[in-house]
A and B are shown apart, each in its own frame.
Chain A
Amino acid sequence: MAIQVEHELHKRRAGRNWGLLLILIAFVGVVFGLTVVKVTRLGDARAFENFDHVANPALERAAEEQELQEVTP
Chain B
Amino acid sequence: MRAPGAATARGASEDVRMQEASLDESAAVPVEAGLGDYFALLKPRVMSLVVFTALVGMLAAPVPVHPYIAFVATLCIAVGAGASGALNMWWDSDIDTKMRRTRSRPIPQGRVRPEEALGLGLALSGFAVVLLWLATNLLSAALLAFTIFFYSVIYSMILKRRTPQNIVIGGAAGAFPPMIGWAVATGGVSLESVLLFALVFMWTPPHFWALALFVKTDYGDAGVPMLTETHGRPATRVQVFAYTLPLVAVSLGIAFTSLGGWLYLAVALALDVWFLAGAWAIFRRSEAQAEADSYATEKRVFMVSLWYLFGHFGAILAQSVLTQWGLAQWGGF
Q: Which residues of A does B touch, CB under 8 Å?
A: 1, 3-4, 7-9, 12-13, 15-16, 19-20, 30-31, 33-34, 37, 41
Contact = CB atoms under 8 A, between A and B. Distances in A.
B40 interface: no
Contact of B35 (A3, A8, A15): A15
A1 B35 contact: no
A4 B75 contact: no
A18 B134 CA distance: 28
Interface string B24-48: 0011010011110000000000000
Chain B interface, DSSP helix/strand/loop, else mixed: helix
B142 interface: no
Contact of A33 (B19, B20, B68): B68
B33 A16 contact: yes
Contacts of B72: 30, 33-34
Contacts of A8: 27
Interface pairs A-B: 3 shortest CB-CB: A19-B35, A37-B68, A12-B34
A4 to B, nearest CB: 6
9 contacts: A7-B23, A7-B26, A8-B27, A12-B32, A15-B34, A20-B35, A30-B131, A34-B131, A41-B66
Contacts of B131: 30-31, 34
A3 B68 contact: no
A9 B29 contact: yes
B: interface residue count bin: 10 to 19
A8 B72 CA distance: 36
B170 to A, nearest CB: 30
Contacts, number: 41
B19 A34 contact: no
A3 B23 CA distance: 8
Interface string B1-35: 00000000000000010011001001101001111
B135 A34 contact: yes
A9 B33 contact: no
B69 interface: yes
Contacts of A12: 32-34
A15 B131 CA distance: 27
A37 B66 contact: yes
Given A15-B34, A34-B134, A7 B27 contact: yes
A19 B68 CA distance: 24
Contacts of A19: 35
Contacts of A30: 72, 75, 131
Interface in B249-296: none
A30 B135 CA distance: 10
A15 B35 CA distance: 7
Contacts of B16: 3
Contacts of A13: 32
B23 A37 contact: no
- Most B-side CB within 10 Å, residue of A1, A4, A15, A20: A4
A4 B27 CA distance: 11
A15 B38 CA distance: 12
Contact of B69 (A3, A15, A37): A37
- Most A-side CB within 10 Å, residue of B32, B35, B68: B35
